[in-house]
Amino acid sequence: MLDKISYKEAFFRCIDNVKPTDLYKNIYVENALGEFLAEDIVAKRDAPVFSNSAMDGFGFKKSDNTKLKVIKTIYAGDKYEDFEIKNDECVRIMTGAKVPNGIDTVIPIEKCIEVTDEYVVIPEIKKGANIRLKGEEIKKGEVLVKKGEEITPEIIALFSSQGIVNVKVFVKPKVAILSTGNELKEPFEEADADEIYNVNSHSIKGLLEKNGFNADLIGIIPDTLEKTVEFIQNLKNKYDVIVTTGGISFGDADFIYEAFVKNGLKSFFRGIMVKPGRPTMIGVMENTFVFALPGNPLSSYLNAFALLIPTLRKLSGAGKYFYNFVYAKNKTEFKTNPKKDHTILGKFECGEWEVYKNYKYGSGMVSALSNSNSLVILGNKEIVKEGEILKVIPFNIGFCERSDFFND
Amino acid sequence: MLDKISYKEAFFRCIDNVKPTDLYKNIYVENALGEFLAEDIVAKRDAPVFSNSAMDGFGFKKSDNTKLKVIKTIYAGDKYEDFEIKNDECVRIMTGAKVPNGIDTVIPIEKCIEVTDEYVVIPEIKKGANIRLKGEEIKKGEVLVKKGEEITPEIIALFSSQGIVNVKVFVKPKVAILSTGNELKEPFEEADADEIYNVNSHSIKGLLEKNGFNADLIGIIPDTLEKTVEFIQNLKNKYDVIVTTGGISFGDADFIYEAFVKNGLKSFFRGIMVKPGRPTMIGVMENTFVFALPGNPLSSYLNAFALLIPTLRKLSGAGKYFYNFVYAKNKTEFKTNPKKDHTILGKFECGEWEVYKNYKYGSGMVSALSNSNSLVILGNKEIVKEGEILKVIPFNIGFCERSDFFND
């Protein structure tokens, strides 16, 4: 019989059985978006690297003088010898330009009382104003970004500011996706009205790609146990992760389990008390992780989303592999079976979440995915009431047709 | 002087001045993740394409009989001639297998009272149970996905299920990124302690890439007006969008504006009442859009995020180009200048949002970006109180180190 573990238990059995890779490679930062750092990155220089003006204006040494003689103009990027500045003198200075020694304050041009080519008249201003001090943001030698962080555009900004162009990142796992069911046609093949298409390989490959992982589509598992054992034997040595879909429940044609076991599989579990997605087996054969997912397109997609992606992230050395969630108010009451956990599709919008089709869609209904933008993982509830606050995992909420995102 | 329009006004002047492209191309679905559909996609077949069993079990014609003779086994993918089924007969049928004519109900194997090779004894069950009817999900000819939708893994699932492998998508704009400031070093160059690195080109290129857009880094704008006019003249005919950073405020070395004007620029505005990011000019030269962003790394990044990305999406034919937001409780009180709008960085976590460094970071502080995961766009407020509900635009909230995303 299938195991009856909870979805949470299934998640932690995946996560806890995975050790991050120790394989890394050097990569140029310009190609590193979405990679996971395999080293702490340390600041090569102070930031700012020299004290500089935050405004276009006039720099001076703060004193009681309010009329200051303009002795020099300094542009961003100008290099110059040190010079003396008197209390009744100032320099015209542009944003980002290096502030000369002895100057401690900058007044923006638009705040001056009078401006001529020879002198300016200034109002009262706080000493130290409008100067960005050397090292006030970052000190040379401090850790800028930690091992395990995902490289984002924001981190690329930081690296660029430090002249860091090459970093060590973890090598991502090699993933093979197999399908079962000799009856399936590939989407690019002709299919008659009795035949259905292979959805799972393509949807899971797309999901992996969106999450920064590549996968090889190996094709269809052979239709005998003997051939399947051999087929898997060959892949085991070549891939870090094998994902299959279908053939894992107790139907007669389902010999996937046996083929993996004959290849030394130690399963973390076979069967989760979840709807949809119950017939799921996850385990390891030597160093190859196996995700034997259900054949139903929704079930396999949801388990790939909730279980496979976090596992792949941890395997890839990512420090962050738990889904973040947003809180949302449940919009429409719906019922579930309290004896199971549930992965439920719906739409998140402006702080509210609405279950898809009152949770009455079937696990074969692919359109439930493209009509949703988020997921609720639920257990121990018979009725989810209108107005209840839910934890929602978004998967496609970036943009909408219209929204008033301004706080005014 | 600089214009004093609001951030909202700036946003709509960008969006309202942009017409979606009418250039499209054919692309294989397997390569289409993140592309925008240039056509409505219509269902090629019903879904399910034939009535099929939702379970491994026994199919029969609902009657008063409770003991049914097993006359046949049908596997998923089996093709067979029509045959007669009597009221006291049934077929063993696997999940996904085509349901024979005349059979209207399937009982799962585990719900049977008695199962032998020859017969089964069944309890009361609702007529029609566990059968997925032909066309109940999708009718051939209906619109599956609308023009302008972004192709996601969920849509790839849907297309695969329909045997749709090639679609029309819009051609994305060609974007050139230029920097100003001959004093800047590229991150891959040697820089001494007087020199700073070009951050903006690289951070904006990364931001575009994350959002599915490519950009060419053209390099540094020449240091005379005459040369710059010629330089821009050449690019104008080659790119749909030109992004520059720096050189757009009223400092002496800022002749970018003039160079664009001499190339026929019609600006939508020059100057936004926002902190940071005031010196920003956006407009159009013939058919080339110009985003002249500020030189400060934070300012240019935030305006690229909030103004450029939505504009690029609309230009690319995307139907969705408004940022979605999440509601969050403000964690720490902070002050702003009520005479300006503000784009404020912070951290969103579990329904709460905390401003970065009490909103006292400078616009040169690149690390504010990598230490934040979301943005609040704010106007007309002097104090944002603890506990206030804010609209937050997330940019990096997918995963975290630990979260309890289960609703239990």
B218 within a domain of the structure (yes/no) = yes
Tens of pLDDT along B132-189?
999 999 999 999 999 999 999 999 999 999 999 999 999 999 999 998 877 789 999 9
Q: Is residue A79 part of a domain?
A: yes
Helix (H, G, I), strand (E, B) or coil at A206: helix
Listed in sequence order, the residues at least 6 apart from A204 whose beta carbon sits closer than 8 Å to its beta carbon are: A177, A215, A243, A245, A293, A300, A301, A304, A308, B153
Output the six-digit token pair for A80: 């110059």
3-state secondary structure of A53: strand
Are both B200 and B248 inside the same structural domain? yes
Nearest C-alpha of chain A: how many angstroms from B262? 25
Smallest CA–CA separation between B263 and chain A, in Å? 26
Identity of residue A248 = I
Instruction: Tell me: do B249 and B307 sit in the same domain.
Output: yes
Burial level of B302, CB count in 10 A (0-12/13-18/19+)? Answer: buried
CB count, 10 Å around CB of B339?
11
Residue A339 maps to which CATH number?
Answer: 2.40.340.10
Note whether B291 and B187 are same-domain residues. Answer: yes
Q: CA-to-CA distance for B269 and B10, rounded, in angstroms?
A: 7
Q: What is the pLDDT of residue A363?
A: 83
* A144 within 8 A of B367, measured Cβ to Cβ: yes
Residue A199 lies in a domain: yes
The CATH number linked to A29 is: 3.90.105.10
The angle that helices B153-161 and A200-210 make with each other, rounded to 10 degrees, is 160
In a domain, B28, yes or no: yes
Q: In Å, how far are A134, B242, B257, B343, B356 from B359, measured between CA atoms?
A: 20, 31, 30, 10, 6
Omega of the bond leading into A108 within 30 degrees of 0 (cis): no
The answer to whether the CB atoms of B408 and A8 lie below 8 A apart is yes
CATH number at residue A112: 2.170.190.11
The answer to whether the CB atoms of B96 and A144 lie below 8 A apart is no
Contacts of A81 (CB under 8 A, 6+ apart): none
The sign of the torsion formed by the CA atoms of A58, A63, A68, A72 equals: negative
Residue A254's pLDDT band (cuts 50, 70, 90): low
A249–B95 C-beta distance less than 8 A:
yes
Looking at the complex, does the CB of residue B25 fall below 8 Å from at least one CB of chain A?
A: no
Q: What is the rounded distance in angstroms from the CA atom of residue B195 to the CA atom of residue B185?
A: 7
Buried b (16+ CB within 10 A) or exposed e, A94-112: bbbbbbbeebbbbbbbeeb
pLDDT confidence of residue A250: 66
Residue appearing with tokens 């902190």: B275
B227 and B257 inside one domain: yes
Q: Which of B132, B161, B184 is the last residue of a domain?
A: B132
The Cα–Cα gap between A344 and A347 comes to: 10
Q: Is the pLDDT of residue A252 over 60?
A: no
Query: In this structure, how many other beta carbons lie within 10 angstroms of the beta carbon of residue B66?
Result: 14
CA A370, CA A215: separation in Å to the nearest integer? 22
A240, A311: one domain? yes
Render pLDDT for A70-105 as a digit per residue (tens, 0 to 9). 999 998 888 899 899 999 999 999 988 999 999 999
Is A251's pLDDT higher than 60?
Answer: no
Residues of B in contact with A325 (CB under 8 A): 350, 403, 405
CA distances from A391 to A384, B159, B332, B349, B379 (A): 12, 30, 23, 12, 29
Q: How many domains does chain A have?
A: 4
Q: How far is A136 from chain B (nearest CA, A)?
A: 9
Residues B244 and B299 in one domain: yes
| Residues A276, A298 contacting (CB under 8 angstroms) | yes
- Measured between beta carbons, which residues in chain B are less than 8 angstroms from residue A400? 320, 322-324
Chain center to CA of B282: 23
| Domain presence at residue A138 | no
Note whether B344 and B235 are same-domain residues.
no
Contacts of A199 in chain B (CB under 8 A): 157, 160-161
For residues B350 and B360, membership in a common domain is answered with yes
Say whether both A371 and A294 belong to one domain.
no
So what's the pLDDT on residue B252? 47
Which residues of chain B are within 8 Å of residue A56 when distances are taken between CB atoms?
249-251
Would you state the structure tokens that stand for residue B172, as one six-digit string?
């994305």
Spell out a b/e string for B213-243, using b for 16 or more CB atoms within 10 Å of the CB, else e.
bebebbebbbeeeeebbebbeebbeebbbbb
pLDDT at A176: 98
Last residue of a domain, one of B268, B284, B315: B315
Together in a domain, A155 and A202: no
The β-bridge relationship of strands A352-355 and A326-330 is parallel
B329 near B387, Cβ under 8 Å? yes
The reply to whether B210 touches chain A by the CB within 8 Å rule is: yes
Residues B293-312 have a mean pLDDT of 96
Indicate whether B408 belongs to any domain. no
Least confident of A153-157, A161-165, B71-75, B246-250: B246-250
Query: A161 to each of A164, B132, B246, B287, B370, how far by Cα in Å?
Result: 8, 58, 15, 33, 12
- B positions 42-81 inside 8 Å of A (CB): 45, 47-50, 52, 54, 56, 73, 75-79
Distance CA A384, CA A378 (A): 9
Gap from B261 CA to chain A (nearest CA, Å): 23
Q: What ranges in A237-345 are assigned the alpha helix state H?
A: 256-262, 297-303, 309-315
Q: What is the CATH number of the domain that holds B310?
A: 3.40.980.10
Report the percentage of chain B scoring pLDDT > 90. 86
Q: Note whether residue B209 is domain-resident.
A: yes
pLDDT at residue B7, rounded to an integer: 97
Same domain, A293 and A193: yes
Q: Are the C-beta atoms of residues B63 and B70 closer than 8 Å to each other?
A: no
Rg (CA), chain A: 30
C-alpha span between A120 and A117 (Å, rounded): 8
Nearest by CB to residue A322, choosing from B194, B310, B405, is: B405
Residue B323 to residue A390, Cβ atoms within 8 A = no
- The answer to whether A403 contacts B153, with C-beta atoms less than 8 Å apart, is no
pLDDT band at B253 (very low <50, low <70, confident <90, very high): low
Confidence check: pLDDT of B227 > 60: yes
Nearest to A51 by CA among B367, B133, B104, B362: B362
The range of the structural domain enclosing residue A104 comes to 52-132
- Which H or E element spans position A220? strand A216-220
Question: Residue A339 pLDDT more than 50?
Answer: yes
- Chain B hits for A159, Cβ within 8 Å: 187
A109-144 pLDDT, tens digit per residue, is: 999 999 999 999 999 999 999 999 999 999 999 999
Smallest Cβ–Cβ distance between B370 and the set A154, A297, A341 belongs to A154
The reply to whether A18 and A28 lie within a common domain is no
| In-domain check, residue A248 | yes
